[in-house]
Amino acid sequence: VLGVPTGVKMHSAVFAVHPRAAGEVAALFAAGAAGTRPAEVMDLDEDAVRDGRVSARLYGHLMVPDVPVRVQQRKMGSSITSPSSVAGIAAELADRAGPSGLLVLGPGGTMRAVAAALGADVPVMGVNVLRDRRPVALDVASGPLEKLAGSAPAWLAVTPIGGQGFLLGRGNQQISPGVVRAVGRGRLAVVATEAKLAGLGGRPLLVDTGDEDLDDELRGHVPVLTGRGRVAMYPVH
């Protein structure tokens, strides 16, 4: 089995990292150049989400082509984060946005913890917008989000999916290419605790926005904010 990523609910390790990679993997497998391995079939634990936590549930395994670079890893649930690291990340983001700018926070447990450190209670699975540490829009869809991002100076903060490393294109489709361009590449803040980066095992961060030109712009090495005044350079593929 090989999944072609085209929408949402892509938490399992059976999907290619992007549609083109799916074709490349299929060609390798058809040519006899790739073996198989068992991969986890995962989905979000909806009960945990209702409790404000991001947790993945294992449903079983399927055999997939063994091409690690082109087939994604399974999603890992939220891990215990260092309060001091989260507070430092929150303070850095607040400083960048300033009292009048917008701070757009992507979904996930890390970003919800960042919002809480700023004094804001936000939905764990939504894209949320703050100004001066207070929510101005919660769980925003891509259309309204693009208009908001273009209405005032804004910073966009995203965190990679635990275990997979996806920054854009998985679990945050509200952050469309139009939203990224409205904010500006220079105002995209990648944030992660050092523990989350370590959990990637040296694998790169990934982007699959559906816009190949934007994906190319985002690839390379990016600074990842890991705490107050702490930045790690990390590759994006």
Domain boundaries of the chain, sorted by first residue: 1-75, 83-236
The share of the chain scoring above pLDDT 90, in percent, equals 61
pTM, to two decimals: 0.78
Q: How many residues would you count in the chain?
A: 237
Q: So what's the pLDDT on residue 120?
A: 97
Q: What is the β-pairing status of strands 128-131 and 134-137?
A: antiparallel
pLDDT at 215 over 80: yes
Spatial CB neighbours of 156, under 8 Å, sequence gap ≥ 6: 104, 106, 149, 175, 179, 180, 183, 187, 188, 189
Q: So what's the pLDDT on residue 163?
A: 81
Q: So what's the pLDDT on residue 200?
A: 86
pLDDT at 140 over 70: yes
pLDDT at 15 over 90: no
Q: Which helix (H) or strand (E) holds 187?
A: none
Q: How confident is the model at residue 7 (pLDDT cuts 50, 70, 90)?
A: low
Window from 146-150, 161-165, 227-231 with minimum mean pLDDT:
161-165
Q: Work out the mean pLDDT of the chain and round it to a whole number.
A: 89
Q: What integer is the mean pLDDT of 175-186? A: 95
Q: So what's the pLDDT on residue 42?
A: 80
Q: What is the β-pairing status of strands 166-168 and 134-137?
A: unpaired
Query: Which tens digit of pLDDT belongs to each residue from 44-85?
Result: 777 766 676 666 788 899 999 998 777 877 666 555 567 888
Residue 166: which of 107, 112, 117 has the closest Cα? 107
Query: Which tens digit of pLDDT belongs to each residue from 191-211?
Result: 999 888 888 888 899 999 999
Q: What integer is the mean pLDDT of 139-164? A: 94
Q: What is the β-pairing status of strands 102-105 and 56-65?
A: unpaired
The share of the chain scoring above pLDDT 70, in percent, equals 92
